[in-house]
């Protein structure tokens, strides 16, 4: 990944940290979870993501006038630059889609859970 400070391909995700989720720019206080790449398998990480998506979708499905989900963000501030750049992680949202999860895993998960809760999913990833 490219560092937003030095523009070198030097960004690495930390071995443990926190992931925050947002759906159409909205999230719940419970829409975050921790990860530990040294102790958790890919299946365990995917299960954590699914749990948080289900939590949000069950909450969102109760709305009367719900918009389709067009924007999904899964991001973390737990990245470091191997060139020791000082980054403003408060204002930088670095996506973990393509890092912890593949785009196809995330799309599939959102479609499956959206169908269960009657929520239309129109998310596209760049």
Give the C-alpha distances (Å, rounded to integers) separating 34 from 4, 16, 67, 72. 24, 7, 28, 18
The tokens describing 106, both together, are 């995330």
pLDDT the model gives residue 65? 85
Q: Give the DSSP H/E element, type plus range, for residue 16.
A: strand 16-23
- pTM equals 0.88
pLDDT per residue as tens, the chain (126 positions)? 888 888 888 889 999 999 999 999 998 989 999 999 999 999 999 999 999 999 999 999 998 888 999 999 999 989 989 998 887 767 777 899 999 999 999 999 999 999 999 999 999 876
What is the pLDDT at residue 64?
87
| Residue 89, pLDDT score | 67
Domain boundaries, the chain: 11-117
């Amino acid at each position: 990944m490219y560092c937003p400070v030095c523009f070198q391909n030097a960004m690495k995700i930390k071995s443990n940290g926190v992931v925050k989720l947002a759906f159409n720019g909205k999230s719940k206080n419970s829409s975050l979870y921790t990860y530990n790449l040294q102790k958790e398998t890919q299946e365990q990480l995917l299960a954590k993501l699914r749990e948080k998506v289900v939590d949000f979708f069950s909450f969102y499905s109760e709305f009367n006038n719900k918009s389709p989900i067009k924007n999904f963000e899964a991001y973390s501030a737990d990245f470091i630059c191997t060139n020791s750049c000082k980054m403003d992680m408060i204002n930088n949202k670095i996506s973990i889609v393509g890092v912890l999860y593949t785009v196809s895993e995330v799309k599939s998960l959102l479609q499956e859970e959206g169908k269960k809760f009657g929520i239309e999913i129109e998310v596209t990833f760049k």
